[in-house]
Structure 1
Amino acid sequence: MQTFTHYFLHFGFIFLIAYLIDKNNIKQVYLILLASMLVDLDHLLADPIFDPKRCSINFHLLHTYWAWALYLLVAFLAKNKMIKTFAIGLSFHLFTDAIDCLWSYNWDFKVLL
């Protein structure tokens, strides 16, 4: 169930977010949100690249709290709709990864510190 929830949030729930952002251009907005998944390229710098027991939050360069704060700042302050949408996607991506970390560690919030 955890894996399904994780990937549903990454690929399915963002369709609802796209609808809420702009129901008239849902396909374009969805693709921009989907492009925010490129943040996972920072996993290529880790060894091993994939470790199902590793929490991404604060481990990978683009998954740090500093990066997340920047994504949220851009989401709120950006005037350009595409940049704002991309930043929302990045922020939601990290939120999804944080939920996955909490789930993996039995909702022990210390894992996020």
Structure 2
Amino acid sequence: MLQSSIHYGIHFGLPLVVALIFYKSYWLKAYGIMILGMLIDLDHLLANPIFDPNRCSINFHPLHTYYAIVVYLVLLIPKKTRLIGMGLIIHIIADIADCGLM
């Protein structure tokens, strides 16, 4: 229960905090863009079983590899892709926290 609360708290709460603090004038749009980072979980559909509560996503699923994380970090640099990169990195932070709590 605590693990799930922390995991989903980071997934949904941290983007909200970032949006409210750094993107006040268009926080809802910023929040929505960062939440789209959840789409990288579509790579879970390639795994068998699709969901395993005891499996760490980091470096297991294709969009959760260290190479992909480097791309997400690069997306933080240009202003045009910063929110997308931030959403993806926050997603990875949530998954790292989840792995640490296993």
User: Which bin holds the TM-score, normalised by the shorter protein?
Assistant: over 0.9
Note if contact 2:44-2:50 (Cα within 8 Å) is conserved in structure 1.
Answer: yes
* One-letter identity of the residue aligned with 2:83: T
Unpaired runs of at least 5, structure 1: 105-113
Residue 99 (str. 1) matches residue 97 (str. 2): yes
Name the residue aligned to 1:46.
47
Cα deviation digits, residues 53-97 of structure 1 (max 9, x gap): 000000000000110011001112x231xx210111101111110
Dislocated runs of 4+, deviation >2 Å: none
Q: What is the CA-CA distance between 1:32 and the residue it aligns to?
A: 0.3
Question: How far apart, in 2, do the equivalents of 1:37 and 1:56 lie?
Answer: 13
Higher relative contact order (CA 8 A, sep 6+): 2
Question: Distance between the aligned counterparts of 1:47 and 1:67, measured in 2?
Answer: 21
What is residue 11 of structure 2 aligned with on the other side?
10
With the length of structure 2 as denominator, give the TM-score of the two structures. Answer: 0.94
Q: Is the 8 A contact 1:21 1:29 kept in 2?
A: no
CA-based RMSD:
0.9
Give the TM-score normalised by structure 1.
Answer: 0.85
SS of the residue corresponding to residue 75 of structure 2 reads helix
Q: Which residue of 1 aligns with 2:79?
A: 79
Name the CA distance, whole Å, in 2 between partners of 1:79 and 1:11: 22
Which position in structure 1 is the counterpart of 2:28?
27
Do the aligned residues in 1 keep the contact of 2:75 with 2:84 (CA within 8 Å)? no
Aligned-partner residue type, residue 40 of structure 1: D
8 Å CA contact retained: 1:37, 1:90:
yes
Paired positions, count? 101
Cα deviation, residue 10, structure 1: 0.4
Partner of 1:64: 65
